[in-house]
Amino acid sequence: MTNNAPDSCDLLIHSGIVLTVDEQNTVLDDGAVAVKDGRICAVGSTQDLQARFTATETFDAQGCVVHPGFIDAHIHISQYTSRSVLPRMSGTAITMGDWKAALTPEDEHASASLAAVDYLRRGYTGFVDPGTIFEPDAVAPVAQEAGIRIWLTDPYVADQVEVLARDEPDLVSPGFMRRWPANTDEALKRLGSQLFRNREQGSLVRGFVGLYGAGTATSVLHETARHLARDNGVQFQEHRGYNPRAYLDEEARNGCSTIARLADEGVLGPGTTFTHMNVVHPGDISILAKTGTRIIWCPFAQLRALGAGPAEPRMLELHEEGVSVALATDIPRTQNFDALGSVAVAGLAATGQSARGSEIMRMRTIDAARSIGAGDQVGSLEVGKCADIVVRSPIAGEMLGVDPVWETAVLGLTEPPRLVVTNGVTQFRNGATVRLDMEKTQHDARGSSRRMMDRVGL
């Protein structure tokens, strides 16, 4: 006798415009997503999935967009509470280095918590800090407290910190530099300190291997870090090409393209991610595409580089040649997280280029996931992946239904999402976080920021 009983699932989101962000960029006009045990178990039409599943909980998307959670591929999370402080430093001798030198674990926790709230109400389910948290143990708990994914690496790993002081004096201070490793041995001791977080299956906090980069690592440190990442099956990341003049000076000293040199040295590949790359020569594109190297694009930082000197931004060309290009905030000095797509489009317009909504969408989701080595787990709505899902609001002004991909990926949110799910668990619903107390988080962040201003003399 045939058993025609429906399958069971924990959550069925139905009656939405589902942007899967799969390889075909499939859009389902009346789609549904079924979730069981924290993972997506089916994606299809509302009619088919309602007939197939009996759900413990159902959620009617009311014709609104359903999409994978955005991932911020590069954010200096401890600096989130300094956003409106930065203009106050103008005309003073105080630098961001002074601010960072004054951070305590409590300040880093307050900053990350505030960012987590803002991420959830902007449709994000994860962020990556590139090793600029002094006390990762202060930030890691925010993942469970808020219900958001966090990728962490070792703090400030470099053994040629004088390079940063030379090339980026506005980012450093004597107190800040004292918190860096003093030599290669100290830098090597920091490597791998966050990889223990990967032992717990399904944890919202994951570790990877990162160097500060931008010329601040000796060949010994660089090679050791890359091998450590490869041996542990995690991504290797570093800053590259943030300062175009310094990058071009390095190429002049070496007599060749940095990308060509790194290819010869075996540095490139899918396990390697470079952030910024504000200089990409035409010949670099095919090398990056052939090797599968990942790139993280910070459009605001790139716009600043364009205004200051000889930048060569080619992010859209890289993407069109098959390079995985992720979008990232870096430091949100001028916009909220939801405006990242708009800033990217503005950055392209500054160089006479334009992107499709599907390209920006991939950069904010699946390519962001790939930049941290998590593309097989998150970043798209596909069977077997973790259920990180966002349902937009039916009263959002940007949701006109003309081009739902563009409206989702590029236009900022006029209303918070109705639902944000991470690992199959609801973390944000109808304008409020489920776990974190939003008012207390804001109060703590405000107090931290004011105490920090007192410490640095603002």
Looking at residue 385, its pLDDT comes to 98
214 Cβ partners below 8 Å, 6+ apart?
A: 163, 164, 167, 168, 238, 239, 240, 242, 243, 246
Please enumerate in sequence order all residues whose Cβ is within 8 A of that of 162, keeping only pairs 6 or more positions apart, or say none: none
Query: Which tokens sit at 404?
Result: 């739902």
- CATH level 2 (architecture), domain 70-371: Alpha-Beta Barrel (3.20)
pTM: predicted TM-score of the whole model, two decimal places: 0.97
Separation CA 438–CA 118 (nearest Å):
9
Domain ranges within the chain, ordered by starting residue: 7-68+380-433, 70-371
- Tokens standing for 307? 């205004």
* pLDDT mean by block of 10 residues, the chain; 458 residues: 77 98 98 98 98 98 97 97 90 92 98 98 98 98 98 97 89 93 97 97 96 95 98 98 94 95 97 97 98 97 88 95 97 88 95 95 98 98 98 93 96 96 97 96 97 95
- The CATH architecture of the domain made up of 7-68+380-433 is Roll (2.30)
